[in-house]
Structure 1
Amino acid sequence: MFSSSSSSSSSSIRTSSHHEPPALNLIPSLPDDVALNCLARLPRSQHPTLSLVSKSIRSLLSTPLFFNSRSLLQCTQHVLYLTLRSHGSSLLWLTLHQNPLNSANPNLLVPVPPIPSPSVGSAYAVIGHMIYVIGGSINDIPSSHVWVLDCRFNKWQPGPSMRVGREFAAAGVIDGKIYVMGGCVADTWARSTNWAEVLDPATGRWSTVPSPVEVREKWMHASAVVDDKFYAMADRGGVAYDTRNRVWESVGSELDTGWRGRACVINGILYCYDYLGHIKGFEVKQGLWRELKGLDDVLPRFLCGATMANVGGNLLVVWEGIGGGKEIEIWCAEIVVKKDEDGELSGKICWSGKVHSVPKGSSIVHCSAVAL
């Protein structure tokens, strides 16, 4: 598969319209397609050093060809993107840079270009190397706009607008399509009809998802996709949408009462952080919550603003720590989660530490993991 794609690597590199074309002979004495095969396998932590080797390699690292080759070789790695709110409506976008060779600061959040039109209460969805930022209010008016961050090059571009404006909507990705629901008052025909929508990125079009009247009165505070079902927790009873059978369902009482705050899904288990300071996992098929054990002596008792993401099968938790003076600290911990034969959940810390400092009054908005 790769050889057929890389056979035209030289011409693809030469004709890149977005970057200065690198010279041939990426690695002396090796054909360019073989050199590309080798370079694409190196971990992302080595890319900054790799870019210093030559101008041609530095240019290669910023081409679609390089990222496509990593994907074909199954050498992609999951990268964390974090959104922070600072000074009212100002949004900071950062990505986690991991450099094991830097013993002083092996894990740091580094800034990426800010979203062109920041809003409050946007929904987020990830497809491939793209982060979709959906709706949100601008000057207290719900927006239908969508912005898309191409994480390969950290560049923003406008996406297809929704049929109605939304703020604090629920969003999830199933079979490569983005589903959104809620975030609007169903007080008009358009808002009622389009209370739930789905975007097909292949066509760039939003379509209406028919929804019963009783669910349109709900306001969402959290969402996740588990076993191809879109779960959205509401202020008065959560709902689930089976996209394959196009059926709406109510959420069981165990999930409804136990899900608090932001969550993520790993191996079919939904993890969230509760107000008592516990990370818990919920198995939908069993309808049972279990505490993630083994972290009591490692993590702080309470994780303020805790946000979670599935980073390559590991649970990455981000929270706000107490800083000095006029700053607060942003901390991260990467956790390997396991389920034993009795169904008990346990976690082991891979690493944990401070990754950034921000002015007091800032808060964590969202985090996403993207494969690059």
Structure 2
Amino acid sequence: MSESCSNSRHFSWLMKSCFPNPNPNTNIHQSIITTTTTTTTTTDISSLPDDLLLECLSRVPSSSLPSLSLVSRRWSRLLLSPSFFHLRRHLHLLHHSLFALSSTTLHSATLIFDDDTTCSSWVLHPFPILPLHSLSFANFQSFLSQARLSAIGPRIFIIGRNAMLRYDTWTRTLLSCSPMLFPRKKFASAVVSAKIYVAGGAYSTSTQSATVDEYDPETDTWRVVSHAPRVRYGCIGASVDGVFYVIGGLKMGGEGAAMAAGRREAHVLYASSMDLYDVEARAWLRSRALPGGGCVVGACAAMGYVYILANHAVELSFWRFDARRKSRGFGEWSRIKSPPLPGQVRVDSRVKFSCVGIGDKVCLVQVMGCIDDLLRRSGRSLRGFKQALVLVYNTASGDWTRGPDLPDVIPRAACVHFQS
């Protein structure tokens, strides 16, 4: 029996598997078990490609953004990119804010806007210590009084005639940046495609600024990109659809005895006109003039339009210019509802306005110069009067509402819109 059993040729492979194998090393039907060692690789968020990392970062709460911006240069770059703000806007997580900086006190304040109404009050922030080798404290007030503010994301650039500072609203820090190529004051500035453009202004009668300059915040460098068709002094800047608008102002110059004496003479008014510079094409479009005339005292861009506040000596008018170049209405003017100023306020050269576009709203901040003297001379009461009235225009409904007044510790404020 053992012999017959040992003759394995008579059994099927299934039966053979039941018999003990005297020499397991030589059994060709032995199952060979291979043990595979699995290595677990941990992937952290920093190893994700930029597009996926942006998707993650865009969903974090606003309160965490300041600390996230300090993680690495890559994270900081992504958090400041247009793609990040596009994602935040799509997720309804992008906050529009109005930033106000006093030219006489070291204080700033922020007013956050939501989809419907403004917040109930301003949030005050002591201004940070100046960076070394930038400006002396004695010259800082003079620097602020002539400065223009431009914002790219959460960063606010304070541009003076011979210096520039960058204020980070997330970290509350100041950094000194490269100054403009030519000293300017009372110039126009605006942001187009994450770069700052300046035009107009002058330092003196003999040093008028006829160029349009571009600032790249990534490289901290300035360059001349064009020459302006008209040299404007006291002009205002705005941008819509890739076009830099240089609005209002005067042409400053001197002739004969006036120039010899070093006096300035405003002999040509540009007060109700604006020049249009196409940034991508590097070309100037046809200039446009305000239909009702007057002197432009405030201007900003919002929702594809340029909004202009004009002074007519006895009244103010409010206008809208269609700046959407791909629309049939491009270039059309419309007169809209004027701001409801209180009765104590009369149109005067000492009454200043700051006009700021914030999402689908236009914020008008009334900033007075020498208001006490103005009211005393007019014999009017100071009771209940606010030096920094804030009015908000809803571009969808066409209505004005009263916003919270600027705090008393921020007189003569310069204002700008920023996003975070």
Length-normalised TM-score, structure 1: 0.66
- Check 1:253–1:320 CA distance in 2 against 1; reply closer, same or farther (3 A cut): closer
Describe the superposition over 1:151-176 as per-residue Cα deviations: whole angstroms up to 9, x where unpaired. Answer: 11121101122222221121111122
- Return the match for 1:227 from 232, 241, 252: 241
- Return the match for 1:165 from 162, 179, 183: 183
**113-122 or 198-207, larger mean C-alpha shift:** 113-122
Considering only aligned residues, what root-mean-square deviation do their CA atoms show, in Å? 4.0
Distance 2:249 2:400 in 1: 32
Whether 1:248 aligns to 2:284 is yes
Whether 1:281 aligns to 2:320 is yes
- Check 1:115–1:292 CA distance in 2 against 1; reply closer, same or farther (3 A cut): farther
Whether 1:300 aligns to 2:375 is no
Whether 1:333 aligns to 2:353 is no
> Would you tell me which structure has more strand in proportion to its own residues?
1
Secondary structure of the residue aligned to 2:184 is coil
- Return the match for 1:108 from 118, 122, 131: 122
Distance 2:282 2:292 in 1: 21
One-letter amino acid of the structure 1 residue matched with residue 233 of structure 2: W
One-letter amino acid of the structure 1 residue matched with residue 298 of structure 2: R
Alignment of 1:180-219 (within 5 A): 180-184=198-202, 195-211=211-227, 215-216=230-231, 218-219=232-233
Whether 1:123 aligns to 2:148 is yes
Distance 1:167 1:193 in 2: 10
Distance 1:309 1:168 in 2: 17
Secondary structure of the residue aligned to 1:260 is strand
- Check 1:193–1:348 CA distance in 2 against 1; reply closer, same or farther (3 A cut): closer
Q: 1:271 Cα shift? A: 1.7
In our comparison, the structure showing a higher alpha carbon Rg is: 2
Aligned twin of 2:412: 363
Distance 1:281 1:115 in 2: 40
**312-321 or 219-228, larger mean C-alpha shift:** 312-321
Distance 1:336 1:274 in 2: 19
Q: 1:245 Cα shift? A: 2.2
Aligned twin of 1:95: 110
- Return the match for 1:314 from 358, 361, 383: 361
Aligned twin of 2:336: 291
Describe the superposition over 1:148-205 as per-residue Cα deviations: whole angstroms up to 9, x where unpaired. Answer: 11111121101122222221121111122211112235988xx679732111222222
Q: 1:368 Cα shift? A: 0.9
Distance 1:150 1:290 in 2: 37
Aligned twin of 2:7: none
Distance 1:270 1:157 in 2: 31
Identical amino acids, percent of aligned pairs? 19
Q: 1:256 Cα shift? A: 8.9
Query: Is the CA contact (8 Å cut-off) linking 1:134 and 1:147 kept in structure 2?
Result: yes
Paired residues, what number? 298
Query: Is the CA contact (8 Å cut-off) linking 1:85 and 1:363 kept in structure 2?
Result: yes
Aligned twin of 1:139: none
Q: 1:208 Cα shift? A: 1.3
- Check 1:282–1:73 CA distance in 2 against 1; reply closer, same or farther (3 A cut): closer
Distance 1:325 1:300 in 2: 13
Whether 1:79 aligns to 2:79 is no
| Structure 1 runs not aligned, ≥5 long | 1-5, 11-33, 48-56, 100-104, 137-142, 340-345
Secondary structure of the residue aligned to 2:408 is strand
Distance 2:56 2:277 in 1: 47
Describe the superposition over 1:45-72 as per-residue Cα deviations: whole angstroms up to 9, x where unpaired. Answer: xx5xxxxxxxxx8xx7644269949855
Secondary structure of the residue aligned to 2:399 is strand
| Structure 2 runs not aligned, ≥5 long | 1-42, 48-54, 251-268, 324-329, 372-380
Secondary structure of the residue aligned to 1:179 is strand
Query: Is the CA contact (8 Å cut-off) linking 2:306 and 2:320 kept in structure 1?
Result: yes
Aligned twin of 1:347: 399
Length-normalised TM-score, structure 2: 0.59
